[in-house]
Chain A
Amino acid sequence: MKGLPPVLITAIVLVAGFALCAVQFPNIASTRVVGNLLTDNAFLGIVATGMTFVIISGGIDLSVGSVIGFTTVFVALAIERWGVPPLVAFVAILALSGAFGAAMGAMIHVFDLPPFIVTLAGMFLARGASFLLSTESVPITAPVYSTVSDFALRLPGGGRLTAVAIIMLTIVIGGALLLRLTRFGANVYALGGSRQAASLMGVAVGRMTVKIYMLSSLLAGIAGIVFSFYTSAGYSLSAVGVELDSIAAVVIGGTLLTGGQGSVVGTFLGVLIQGMIQTYINFDGTLSSWWTKIATGVLLFAFIALQQGLVALARRPVAKRAGAVS
């Protein structure tokens, strides 16, 4: 359950990759680039944290990209057209997205449906609803947006740690602690190990399922708000495919797609690896940005193969501990 070896491998890939990049483009090794990397991937880091919980519990959440898209449109319209104070709009959308996730979790548990189908339906629903609100991009001009966008902690070396990056780091740390240190976190692993056994051991499986999907949608809502800060606009086509990017980050971070094992820290490293590839391509200038996807695909293959290898290794009877019975 410690999941350390896969995370370690992810960390090694990140460090080695970063070193290679730095050899070719020494400028990459600067707080400025790292700061931008965190800012650019803030929404991905937030939503991937939620995805980590879902996947460790043995599920999947395909709706998060659509929820981000819906959130940006909703927030933009609420502030710009309906004259709602930004803070109220934020609270409203978080309540809405949380309820949306809870409803999906309840569907999954009560009707015993595969999470893939339920969240796929949720994905279409949220995306469709955002088109219903507005088909075109709605710019946000509220003063709070420029304030937040301008806010940043100065890093030594000229880098900036922006507000959205700080929000993301806070959520990653909070998520890691929630998963590692609380009863809720232990139950997430339990669900991923075996729903039946967990239930026999007294875990309220239904309530946990609802909570986990609620958490994922809630974080997708926060990611949506962060995304609207980042682009200063609401657009129904934003964050298309982000659910897949976040699943990729989770898997590259060493979380078992079948559930039961994984960590938020690993997911964060997975996000950084994707960001690093993106940065490298930007620095190179001649490569198409689609190379990011290809590199991510190759890494995914490698990590899935690696996990299968580790699982096979763990199944070998030789690897079993003798169980030092006195």
Chain B
Amino acid sequence: MENSSDSAASLLEVRGISKSFGAVHALQEVDFTLRAGEIHALLGENGAGKSTLIKVITGVFPRDAGIVRISGEEVAPRSAKAALQAGIATVYQEVNLLPNLSVAQNLFLDRQPMRFGIVRGGEVRRRAKTLLADFGLDIDVSAPLGSYSVAVQHVTAIARAVDLSARVLILDEPTASLDRHEVEILFRIMRQLAGRGIGIVFVSHFLDQVYEISDRITVLRNGRLVGERETASLSRLELIRMMLGRELAETTSTRASAGAQKTRDVCASFENYGKAGYVAPFNLELRHGEVVGLAGLLGSGRTETARLVFGAERADRGQARVEGVPVRLQSPRDGVRHGFGYCPEERKTDGIVAELTVRENIVLALQAKRGLHRPLSRREQDEIARRYVKMLDIRPPDPERPVGLLSGGNQQKVLLARWLATSPRLLVLDEPTRGIDVGAHAEIIRLIRELCDDGLALLVISSELDEIVTYSDRVVVLRDRAHVEELAGEAIDVGSILAAIAADGGSVAHEGRA
């Protein structure tokens, strides 16, 4: 399969696929080509459209425009089952099999060999054994699937899919919960299947693995196709540029040049702080009136760092200090008590309470901090809500409107207001500009700067590198769940961040979380 040149027949052709959810364009005119016998990595950051593309191809979502062809024949599956019949099988990160049934039954459910209306149990087990032997798996097939490791479950799912005459195999983050050894087994099986002419789509955010296994790479960004390249001729730097970089205008930090490097007071510091299997120990100083940006790829440990800092996750080593005083951050409550605020990435699920009004959302954290026996009077609540609606320019300026009815940018401002109302000393923002339109984007960035000028310490995560460069005083770059570089002042530019992300991890390979 090294020679999967252009002569190889294109097995799966996707042309001009578009898909919108309401006003959000999840996919716009995306093309994708999978050749027989190749392993094709599908890459992109969160929200790039990878999973939407897979779901459109497999018929889970109806598409708005575009066509899908298999071996030149147009297909339009309406369900996962129909896609399977068309020859497209998907194995998701959470294996969609039945843990309560035996391995053999999982492999042959609804297609068991029968005699006189009775399932030939012995035959089922024998065939299951033979089938799995092809995949180098020698296990007791009559034991429940749930009693085996995730790796075995993955292989079982793949074996079932392949045995159902799948020609296209889509593996969605198959390695996320496997350890190194198991990943090797999976890769061996993938190569074997590719050798038999099956086309494999490999979705992963582990770049080392992508380089190890894939023949070709397709990158999506913000629902658009960035490009398709041969893995061998694509440098790591170039790949990351495709995934992250926008127009690659070499923006430099406006802050760094403007704000003279006067030493500011340290607000919070973390010394050798970390948690095994979560984020490698790091040193981090957050100062008043300073923005620290966290840059890195999806899964590099950005959000994990933020959660440790806030106390949402418990560190198992290191020392945290607030204003120089050693503290213990065991829970979000501790974080709040020390004057930290955290706006999580998943606004919808972790942040706002859509049914409550703007006012109720804003006073939530403040009320929690004061405790239930000291309720804020309605007058105080109205006062606070009015102040922040005005200050952050929340639109429409109606504190009694349910937050769910606001646009993404305004929801983000409500979240921000919630924490500002607690007068924090440190605010952690995880992807504050995700999913909001361009105008609101600029406004959020302006707000970040203003807050910072007021003496707040900010820790901001973003996938938009030029954005990070614009507002950060310092940038910490993460890779493979470790802090690998810290850039400050003049040194901050998109190019050096990209270089730090792309620097070969070497032995810092993928670390399993199983």
Q: Which of B106, B138, B142, B146 is within 8 Å of A324, CB to CB?
A: B138
Residues of A within 8 A of B146 (CB): 314
**B440 within 8 Å of A (CB atoms):** no
**A152 within 8 Å of B (CB atoms):** no
Residues of A within 8 A of B249 (CB): none
Q: Which of A183, A261, A320 is within 8 Å of B147, CB to CB?
A: A320
In Å, the complex CA distance between A202 and B79 comes to 11
Q: Which of A197, A199, A314, A319 has the most CB of B within 10 A?
A: A197
**B326 within 8 Å of A (CB atoms):** no
In Å, the complex CA distance between A126 and B138 comes to 53
Give B160's nearest chain A residue, CB to CB.
A201
User: Are B100 and A261 in contact (CB-based, < 8 A)?
Assistant: yes
In Å, the complex CA distance between A185 and B138 comes to 27
From known contacts A193-B100, A196-B96, infer whether A183 and B151 are also in contact, taking CB-CB under 8 Å: no
User: Are B149 and A183 in contact (CB-based, < 8 A)?
Assistant: no
How many residues belonging to A are interface residues under a CB distance threshold of 8 Å?
32
Give A258's nearest chain B residue, CB to CB.
B100
Q: Which of A2, A186, A198 is within 8 Å of B112, CB to CB?
A: A186
Q: Which of B98, B121, B144, B148 is within 8 Å of A323, CB to CB?
A: B148
**A187 within 8 Å of B (CB atoms):** yes
**B387 within 8 Å of A (CB atoms):** no
Q: Which of B80, B102, B105, B143 is within 8 Å of A321, CB to CB?
A: B143
In Å, the complex CA distance between A87 and B407 comes to 69
Residues of B within 8 A of A294 (CB): none
User: Are B98 and A190 in contact (CB-based, < 8 A)?
Assistant: yes
In Å, the complex CA distance between A196 and B97 comes to 9
Contact with B along A191-228 (1 / 0, CB 8 A): 01110111111110000000000000000000000000
Residues of B within 8 A of A286 (CB): none
Residues of A within 8 A of B102 (CB): 1
**B454 within 8 Å of A (CB atoms):** no
From known contacts A200-B80, A326-B136, infer whether A183 and B101 are also in contact, taking CB-CB under 8 Å: no
Residues of B within 8 A of A187 (CB): 109-110
User: Are B98 and A201 in contact (CB-based, < 8 A)?
Assistant: yes
User: Are A198 and B98 in contact (CB-based, < 8 A)?
Assistant: yes
In Å, the complex CA distance between A183 and B110 comes to 7
From known contacts A193-B100, A260-B100, infer whether A1 and B84 are also in contact, taking CB-CB under 8 Å: no
How many residues belonging to B are interface residues under a CB distance threshold of 8 Å?
38
Residues of B within 8 A of A2 (CB): 142, 144
User: Are B147 and A321 in contact (CB-based, < 8 A)?
Assistant: yes
**A288 within 8 Å of B (CB atoms):** no
Residues of A within 8 A of B155 (CB): 325
**A90 within 8 Å of B (CB atoms):** no
Give A317's nearest chain B residue, CB to CB.
B514
Interface residues of B in 86-134 (CB under 8 A from A): 96-102, 105-106, 109-112, 114, 117-119, 121
User: Are B114 and A183 in contact (CB-based, < 8 A)?
Assistant: yes
- In the complex, the number of residue pairs spanning A and B with C-beta atoms less than 8 Å apart equals 101
Contact with A along B148-162 (1 / 0, CB 8 A): 110110010000100
**A70 within 8 Å of B (CB atoms):** no
In Å, the complex CA distance between A116 and B92 comes to 31
Residues of A within 8 A of B142 (CB): 2
Interface residues of A in 307-326 (CB under 8 A from B): 314, 319-326
Q: Which of A1, A185, A190, A314 has the most CB of B within 10 A?
A: A1
CB of A51, distance to nearest CB on chain B (Å) = 18
User: Are B149 and A322 in contact (CB-based, < 8 A)?
Assistant: yes
Give B188's nearest chain A residue, CB to CB.
A325
**B391 within 8 Å of A (CB atoms):** no
From known contacts A183-B110, A201-B109, infer whether A1 and B100 are also in contact, taking CB-CB under 8 Å: yes
CB of B508, distance to nearest CB on chain A (Å) = 25
CB of A86, distance to nearest CB on chain B (Å) = 31
In Å, the complex CA distance between A187 and B101 comes to 10
Residues of B within 8 A of A196 (CB): 96
CB of B180, distance to nearest CB on chain A (Å) = 13
**A74 within 8 Å of B (CB atoms):** no
Contact with B along A175-193 (1 / 0, CB 8 A): 0000001110111011011
**B509 within 8 Å of A (CB atoms):** no
From known contacts A181-B118, A321-B149, infer whether A189 and B100 are also in contact, taking CB-CB under 8 Å: yes
Q: Which of A196, A322, A323 has the most CB of B within 10 A?
A: A323
From known contacts A193-B100, A197-B97, A324-B138, infer whether A182 and B105 are also in contact, taking CB-CB under 8 Å: no
In Å, the complex CA distance between A201 and B138 comes to 23
Residues of B within 8 A of A261 (CB): 100
CB of B123, distance to nearest CB on chain A (Å) = 13
Residues of B within 8 A of A199 (CB): 81
Residues of A within 8 A of B137 (CB): 323, 325-326
CB of B137, distance to nearest CB on chain A (Å) = 6
Q: Which of B110, B136, B143, B182 is within 8 Å of A203, CB to CB?
A: B110
User: Are B81 and A202 in contact (CB-based, < 8 A)?
Assistant: yes
**B232 within 8 Å of A (CB atoms):** no
Give A186's nearest chain B residue, CB to CB.
B105
Residues of B within 8 A of A320 (CB): 147-149
In Å, the complex CA distance between A321 and B150 comes to 10
In Å, the complex CA distance between A319 and B148 comes to 9
CB of B368, distance to nearest CB on chain A (Å) = 33
**B327 within 8 Å of A (CB atoms):** no
In Å, the complex CA distance between A325 and B149 comes to 11
**B139 within 8 Å of A (CB atoms):** yes
**B185 within 8 Å of A (CB atoms):** yes
In Å, the complex CA distance between A261 and B146 comes to 12
Interface residues of B in 56-84 (CB under 8 A from A): 80-81, 84
Beyond contacts A182-B118, A201-B96, A325-B151: 19 other A-B pairs, Cβ-Cβ < 8 A, are A181-B121, A186-B110, A187-B109, A190-B98, A193-B101, A197-B97, A197-B98, A198-B109, A200-B96, A201-B110, A202-B84, A202-B109, A202-B110, A260-B100, A319-B147, A320-B147, A321-B148, A321-B149, A323-B139
Q: Can you pick out 30 interface pairs between chain A and chain B where the beta carbons lie within 8 Å of each other?
A: A1-B101, A1-B144, A182-B119, A183-B112, A186-B110, A189-B100, A190-B98, A193-B100, A196-B96, A197-B97, A197-B98, A198-B109, A199-B81, A200-B81, A200-B96, A201-B97, A201-B109, A202-B109, A202-B110, A202-B111, A260-B100, A314-B147, A319-B147, A320-B149, A321-B143, A321-B149, A322-B149, A324-B139, A326-B137, A326-B138
Which B residues are closer than 8 A to A by beta carbons? 80-81, 84, 96-102, 105-106, 109-112, 114, 117-119, 121, 136-139, 142-144, 146-149, 151-152, 155, 160, 182, 185
